[in-house]
């Protein structure tokens, strides 16, 4: 295991030097780093400060770029980059403005990188709706029920379902898919 701060270029460079030394190259990158901060989630527009934008974009957007850039230097023919975004980046929402904006940039970056890195590397994005991860702990019982009612499948997504989608997008079975944003949200964005 190699640890790095994805928001810091020297840390990312060091990580990829170690990856190249240990593995000789890279076949798959999943950009799943994100800044989860409950203090930012429910803020009204007038309470959001520029420093909050900088912190979230440093990890979610710049980190995705830095890791993709570093990986592209050592990726092999037929490699795959899978980015993580969120459905609010596609359809909007009333919560998580800073987070959704950072993930919106990841969606745009995915499409640009797919064109720039083809045909050697495919680049796709997974846009997740409400998945049962630690952010659910920020919600009170009423909010949880409200989210579940908005999901046509009647439940939160499971982390294993996210991993299965990432594995598919990284696999040879998806070798003709690039530049796409695959939504996994149980129909939540269909509101």
What is the rounded distance in angstroms from the CA atom of residue 165 to the CA atom of residue 160? 9
Q: CB of 48 within 8 A of CB of 147?
A: no
Q: Which residue ranges form the domains of the chain, and what is each CATH number?
A: 9-186 (3.40.50.720)
* 180 Cβ neighbours under 8 A, 6+ residues apart: 114, 124, 125
Q: CB of 89 within 8 A of CB of 132?
A: no
Q: What is the pLDDT of residues 113-137, one digit of tens each?
A: 999 999 999 999 999 999 999 888 8
* Full-model pTM: 0.95
What is the rounded distance in angstroms from the CA atom of residue 89 to the CA atom of residue 85? 7
Q: Is the pLDDT of residue 36 over 90?
A: no
Q: Round to the nearest angstrom and report the end-to-end CA distance of the chain.
A: 41
Tokens 């079975």 correspond to: 173
Angle separating helix axes 50-57 and 97-117, nearest 10 degrees: 40
What is the rounded distance in angstroms from the CA atom of residue 41 to the CA atom of residue 95? 6
Q: CB of 119 within 8 A of CB of 79?
A: no
Residues belonging to the chain = 191
Residue numbers annotated as active site: 99
CA-based torsion, 183, 164, 7, 41: positive or negative? positive
Q: What is the pLDDT of residues 85-122, one digit of tens each?
A: 999 999 998 889 999 999 999 999 999 999 999 999 99
Q: What is the pLDDT of residues 49-89, one digit of tens each?
A: 999 999 999 999 999 999 999 999 999 999 999 999 999 99
Q: Which of 184, 140, 125, 179 is nearest to 160 (CA)?
A: 184
């Amino acid at each position: 295991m190699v640890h790095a701060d994805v928001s810091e270029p020297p840390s990312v460079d060091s990580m990829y030097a170690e990856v190249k030394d240990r593995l000789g190259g890279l076949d798959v990158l999943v950009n799943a780093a994100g800044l989860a901060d409950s203090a930012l989630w429910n803020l009204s527009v007038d309470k959001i400060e520029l420093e909050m934008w900088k912190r979230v974009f440093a990890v979610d957007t710049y980190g995705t770029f830095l890791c993709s850039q570093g990986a592209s230097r050592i990726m092999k023919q037929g490699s795959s980059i899978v980015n993580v975004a969120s459905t609010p980046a596609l359809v909007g929402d009333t919560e998580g403005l800073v987070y959704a904006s950072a993930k919106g940039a990841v969606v745009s970056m995915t499409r640009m990188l797919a064109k720039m890195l083809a045909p050697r590397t495919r680049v796709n994005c997974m846009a997740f709706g409400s998945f049962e991860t630690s952010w659910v702990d920020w919600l009170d019982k009423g909010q949880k029920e409200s989210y579940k009612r908005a999901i046509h499948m009647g439940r939160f997504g499971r982390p294993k379902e996210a991993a299965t989608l990432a594995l598919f997008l990284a696999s040879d079975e998806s070798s003709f898919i690039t530049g796409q944003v695959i939504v996994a949200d149980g129909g939540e964005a269909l509101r």
